[in-house]
Chain A
Amino acid sequence: MSTEREMGKPEQESPEVFKPGQTTAPDVDIFVNDDEILLVADMPGLAKEDLAINLENNTLTIEGSYTSTFAGTPQRKEFDSTDYRRVFTLPKGIDVEKTNAEFKQGVLRLHLPKSASVKPCQVTVKGD
């Protein structure tokens, strides 16, 4: 009979589970006005040096690796080391050269200026 076998059997039978690397998509806000697109992302724990922003063609990638430095034994754990990563497709007409970013207290503010050709402009109508 199988009862005893089942009960007494230790862990070996349960398949090992690979823990996937923790990857977090940071929460973002995206704002837009006539001059630029502003992207704000929460990446708590991340140091400025560990943040990478990559602009290639129309693809914007923000990523960074946060390694926690907790001391002692965990009593409750709601967050841990993680890799932040998020990819965006940008609309045409971003002036890549003028892109700039600030990073403060785990919050990234990325300014993506629109190039002159896509900025709205007023057309004056002439009449008699």
Chain B
Amino acid sequence: MFRNLNDIDRIFGNMGLLRNQMNRLFEDFESGRGGYPTAGSWPKTNFFDDGDNILVYCEIPGVNEDEINIKLHNNLLTIKGERKSDTPEGYAILRQERKVNSFSRSFTLPVEIDTEKTSATLKNGILTVKIVKAQAAKPKKIVVQAA
């Protein structure tokens, strides 16, 4: 099957190539825009953790404060809303790429949270939800003492 060592070497060379391609595949995934498995969902949502809080960022251009509905039930966060159609009266449509009118996304939060302290702000079409972690879920520094 393997005529000489060269053949074997070539096979491993190809494997290296494959590995490189796989590596790049994951880089695409990590690069945010484009590669994420849920990238097709609307609105695009980011989750950040700064230790004491979970910060949720949502891209919702053209949605007003009163059209957003955020619900927290146990560990389930639901962001719902409606973007009113802004197709003006008496105009012909030449192009329509901005499609979504109502949206809803739900996420299970990985930690215990303090539901009461949640707050949200909206700026330039980006919604920021600040969820405060329950005391038990916050990171705690442990001091090592000399015995």
Interface of A toward B, CB cutoff 8 Å = 1-3, 6, 13-15, 17, 19, 22, 24, 27-33, 37-38, 40, 42-47, 68, 70-80, 82, 104-107, 109
Contact = CB atoms under 8 A, between A and B. Distances in A.
Contact of B88 (A14, A19, A38, A70): A38
15 contacts: A6-B12, A33-B91, A44-B61, A44-B126, A70-B46, A72-B51, A74-B48, A76-B47, A77-B32, A77-B36, A78-B36, A79-B44, A105-B122, A106-B60, A106-B126
Interface size classification for chain B: 35 or more
B97 A43 contact: no
Given A2-B8, A73-B48, A105-B61, A29 B93 contact: yes
Given A1-B5, A31-B91, 10 more contacts: A15-B20, A17-B24, A29-B95, A42-B61, A47-B124, A71-B48, A72-B53, A75-B48, A75-B49, A105-B63
Contacts of A14: 19-20, 23
Best-buried of A1, A13, A44 by chain B (most CB within 10 Å): A44
A27 B87 contact: no
Contacts of B61: 42-44, 105-107
A71 to B, nearest CB: 5
